[in-house]
Structure 1
Amino acid sequence: MSDYLKSYVKPIKIENVDEYYSLIQEISLSDTSRIFAENLSHSAHINMLIKEISILLANSLRLYEMGYFDNAYYSLRSANELATVMLGLSDKEDFKIKSL
């Protein structure tokens, strides 16, 4: 990376970042099969979204620390959008989801 570009990238250390990663790991390890026991297919899709959200959250922390603030923002925004979609789908039956 050229010195010119380095002047725009300002890494910032996040205090207690390990605690944030630990919380993200707890989210990623959550299992919805107990909630949607009657419909394991639906549960698997929700679990897949939870894993993706966790990855996006971890990426946003790392990108922020590296100084790529806009990328961190968009990763966080994508996690938020997926969480919104997940919440919207979690209370619907499979046949209603397929008809969307």
Structure 2
Amino acid sequence: MGVKDGPLQSPEKPQEQKQRRGMGMRYQVEDILEADFGCEEREEGAPLLCCLVLSADGKRIYRNIPDELARKCALTKGMVLTEEELRGLETGTAPGMNQSVQS
């Protein structure tokens, strides 16, 4: 099982995607794992990443985000993210999320 990066991909037709966006996709956090760098180590100075395992419409989605951002947003298993929140996590802006630092 590999980690996929980049924008969400869907085999749906563009019209179906527009309809779903209007309804507001929701993504459940199934797990939060340490990101896999494969056989290569994390580069010096590179941020520590975590891998979000999400589910939506019966599909699993994997996203690497900075571990620090996951902590600031207080992400937990079972949490449900909106499409806007997921996009914010991917871009580092995380709108509507709890931005206080968790210890």
Q: TM-score higher than 0.5 here?
A: no
TM-score (norm 1): 0.26
When normalised by structure 2's length, the TM-score is 0.26
Report which of the two has the higher share of strand. Answer: 2
The structure with the greater share of residues assigned to helix is 1
